[in-house]
Chains A and B, each alone.
Chain A
Amino acid sequence: MVQTMSDPVRRATRIRRFPWPFTGDRYAYSANVEPAPGLRRTIVGEWGRTILDPDETYVAELAERRDILARDPSRHVELPHMRAASWDVLLWGLRELVGTDPAMTLDRQGDGYVWTNRRLGTCQAFRYGDDASLPMGPLMFLGSQIQEDIVLLDQREDRLWADAGCVTFASNWSMAFTAGMSFMEIHGPVPHDFADGAIPRAERFLMRLGAGQAYRRLNWTTTAGYRLDTALDSYADWGASRVRLADCDDFADVFHMRVEVQHLVRLPESGAILFLIRTYLLPLADILTVPEWRAQFASVLTHLPDDIIQYKGLAVLRPRLLAHLG
């Protein structure tokens, strides 16, 4: 599904709340983690006040996730030993939503809970740990209430393993393929000369996270069209639009900066690491309206090492992009 963002008010909101990924005019891979949540100001607005961000796209994005899961159930994977972690993340996520959005409440009596979400018109009673008390698994259920993609990592044998996930908006990777892989295996394709230090360091950092602690990082890449689902699993649907980017007429409207706000949380009861990915898209046309962003992006692109340019799929597009930004 390709959406457009023509309404000027929504467009302004989107720019104002966009988590712009550059703070200077260079970009390098690093273990760029910081405690979360925390308000971050950009030149035109702000983001990051809360971990979850149920914004004006909430209902539409959740409907899109539901359609994707109905079409392709393999976007949700859960190895059997992740059951406790899945219940843990459900409670963590619902509580976090309650603290973020007044339209949601969670009432508890012992192991019995009642979840009410007035934005979706959901009212669901369930018993903690009782799979039969929910219409779907707990991880899937959380995936129906938050826009973020969810990955759960189990920590054992001094490593992290991505053993469960509900991921519909992956950027050029596949949850089904990743399931059961170690943190180091997952990051195998990332250009090594630049990430070799940062990736193992990030894993050690995550393994030391204390119960309940939350950190975040940004990652950025680019997408053709306002398209959330650019998973490897649906490449057949979007691969061609990516190729067309090189010579399409409306480049500034089609080319999107894709920023992922990624949260890393040590879940309190299972001890699993939660990896949340929230995807924000901003068309180049919008970037061009902010002179500072325009200049930063141009400078970053100019100096980015070739390996990273290749990895992010920008080798062909760079000249065209720089012509627009310049």
Chain B
Amino acid sequence: MSAPAGDDLVLRVEQVVDVAPSIREFVLRPTEGEGLPSHVPGSHLVVACGDRRNAYSLTGEGHAPEAYRISVLHRPDGQGGSAWLHRVRPGHILRCGRPRDAFAPVATARHHLLIAGGIGITPFLSHLRAARRWGRRVSVLYAVAAGAPVPHHAELAALAGDGLRILRGRAAMQAAMDHALQTQVLGTHLYVCGPDGLMDSALALAQAHGWPEERCHAERFGGVDAAEGAPFTVRLHRTGRDIAVAADVSMLDALAAAGVEWPAMCRRGVCGECRMDAAGTILHRDLVLSPAERAAQSCLMPCVSRAEGVLSLDL
């Protein structure tokens, strides 16, 4: 049966493996039952790391996996999420979202060119596994600092075979990208993930060599904060009552929790059923209202839209 949307996963850290200096792989299994949801290649898992929520690429098998794998680079200059995870030991329980997909291979591509730098290789591990299963043609250019060990080297070599090239240093990578972006078969799609500098040069080169934008796909990582938005207050004008809407709940749910029932259907800002008159600084996120209705700031879809400060309702 389909799992209810948005349900969190509770996962136990089964194994912690150092795959390279400062990079730790975590093998996660469900605390209850067996099997985890399948995921699309390039998907990430949002993990609650103390008071932060970070996104990490799933590197394991995407078909009905028994465990999830993530590889985490310790970033001493980051906001603490990776340092927190690096202190986690086997047996620890992690709360995670369901896999999210934002960097999938394009099914119609004739060839897939994957360009990665450093920890940016992680989303491509699942790309490569799927490519092997479905017989997709792939090649990989992977930039690794001179002298540093190659994270996941054995796995990459096994999955990509001759299609894998490890490049040491900036100049070698630049030359390899330049060559690759000029010699691809028509219908190739480009995927890049890595440090900003590398991604910018790859995309600039692609543009210079005439690659159409819809053939270029980039995943920028960093502290993705998956919270819904900033907290705000709903004021019921007729009764003078205030209802707080926390960062991670929708206004519709906050109203329901406070006993204010309101009709709703899709809960995704598309059907228009929950439309509500309101006054305040509205942050529209629906697909229903026209630009003029948005600008008027006098109604919203509380299933997805939010407000700044205090929003007043005629209730």
The answer on a CB contact under 8 Å between A84 and B134 is yes
Partner of B64, one of A108, A202, A204, A211: A108
Residues of A within 8 A of B2 (CB): 36-37, 51, 96, 212-214, 265
The answer on a CB contact under 8 Å between A268 and B40 is yes
Q: Contact string, A89-124, partner B, CB cutoff 8 A, digits 1/0?
A: 001000110011000000010010000000000000
The reply on A71 being an interface residue by CB < 8 A is no
- Bound Cα distance from A201 to B267, whole angstroms: 14
A97 shortest CB reach to chain B, Å: 10
Residues of A within 8 A of B265 (CB): 32-34
Residues of A within 8 A of B133 (CB): 84, 129
Given the interface pairs A211-B98, A265-B2, the reply to whether A205 lies near B270 with Cβ below 8 Å is yes
The reply on B37 being an interface residue by CB < 8 A is yes
Given the interface pairs A108-B64, A156-B107, the reply to whether A270 lies near B266 with Cβ below 8 Å is no
The reply on A157 being an interface residue by CB < 8 A is yes
Residue from A95, A156, A212, A272 whose CB has the most chain B CB atoms within 10 Å = A212
The reply on B154 being an interface residue by CB < 8 A is no
Residues of B within 8 A of A269 (CB): 38-40, 62-63
Chain A residues 223 to 277 lying within 8 A of chain B, measured CB to CB, are 265, 268-272
The answer on a CB contact under 8 Å between B63 and A34 is no
Residues of B within 8 A of A211 (CB): 37, 39-40, 43, 98-101
Chain B residues 103 to 148 lying within 8 A of chain A, measured CB to CB, are 104, 106-108, 130, 133-134
Considering the complex, give the chain A residue whose CB is closest to the CB of B106.
Answer: A156
- Bound Cα distance from A168 to B134, whole angstroms: 28
The reply on B268 being an interface residue by CB < 8 A is yes
Given the interface pairs A84-B107, A211-B100, A269-B38, the reply to whether A33 lies near B270 with Cβ below 8 Å is yes
Q: Looking at chain B's contact residues, is the secondary structure mostly helix, strand, loop, or mixed?
A: loop
Chain B residues 267 to 294 lying within 8 A of chain A, measured CB to CB, are 267-272, 287-288
Chain B residues 11 to 29 lying within 8 A of chain A, measured CB to CB, are none
The reply on A30 being an interface residue by CB < 8 A is yes
Residues of A within 8 A of B99 (CB): 211, 268
Give the number of A-B contacts (CB < 8 Å).
107
Residues of B within 8 A of A129 (CB): 63, 133-134
- Bound Cα distance from A201 to B304, whole angstroms: 15
Q: Contact string, B252-275, partner A, CB cutoff 8 A, digits 1/0?
A: 000000000000011111111000
- Bound Cα distance from A214 to B2, whole angstroms: 7
The reply on B214 being an interface residue by CB < 8 A is yes
The reply on B296 being an interface residue by CB < 8 A is no
The reply on A154 being an interface residue by CB < 8 A is yes
The reply on A210 being an interface residue by CB < 8 A is yes
The answer on a CB contact under 8 Å between A202 and B107 is no
Taking residues whose C-beta sits less than 8 angstroms from the other chain, chain B's interface range is 35 or more
Partner of A81, one of B6, B104, B107, B269: B107
Considering the complex, give the chain A residue whose CB is closest to the CB of B270.
Answer: A205
- Bound Cα distance from A83 to B107, whole angstroms: 9
- Bound Cα distance from A126 to B266, whole angstroms: 37
A199 shortest CB reach to chain B, Å: 12
Partner of A83, one of B40, B43, B62, B134: B134
The answer on a CB contact under 8 Å between A201 and B134 is no
The answer on a CB contact under 8 Å between A271 and B101 is yes
Given the interface pairs A211-B37, A212-B37, A269-B62, the reply to whether A205 lies near B101 with Cβ below 8 Å is no
The answer on a CB contact under 8 Å between B98 and A210 is yes
Q: Contact string, A189-213, partner B, CB cutoff 8 A, digits 1/0?
A: 0000000000001101100101111
Residues of B within 8 A of A33 (CB): 265-266, 268, 270-271
Residues of A within 8 A of B106 (CB): 156
Given the interface pairs A84-B107, A85-B107, A268-B39, the reply to whether A96 lies near B287 with Cβ below 8 Å is no
Residues of A within 8 A of B268 (CB): 33, 205, 208
The answer on a CB contact under 8 Å between B288 and A201 is yes
B15 shortest CB reach to chain A, Å: 20
B106 shortest CB reach to chain A, Å: 5
Given the interface pairs A82-B107, A269-B63, the reply to whether A35 lies near B5 with Cβ below 8 Å is yes
Given the interface pairs A211-B39, A211-B43, A265-B2, the reply to whether A91 lies near B271 with Cβ below 8 Å is no
Given A33-B268, A34-B266, 8 new contacts (CB under 8 A):
A84-B130, A201-B270, A211-B101, A212-B98, A268-B40, A268-B99, A269-B40, A270-B107
Name 24 A/B residue pairs within 8 A (Cβ), A-sorted: A33-B265, A33-B266, A33-B270, A34-B265, A35-B5, A35-B267, A36-B2, A81-B108, A84-B107, A129-B134, A156-B214, A201-B288, A205-B268, A210-B101, A211-B39, A211-B98, A212-B2, A212-B5, A213-B2, A213-B5, A268-B99, A269-B38, A270-B40, A270-B107
Nearest 10 Cβ contacts at the A-B interface: A99-B1, A205-B270, A269-B38, A81-B107, A271-B40, A268-B38, A213-B5, A214-B2, A81-B108, A33-B266
A residues whose Cβ falls under 8 Å from a Cβ of B: 30-37, 50-51, 81-85, 88, 91, 95-96, 99-100, 108, 111, 128-129, 154, 156-158, 201-202, 204-205, 208, 210-215, 265, 268-272
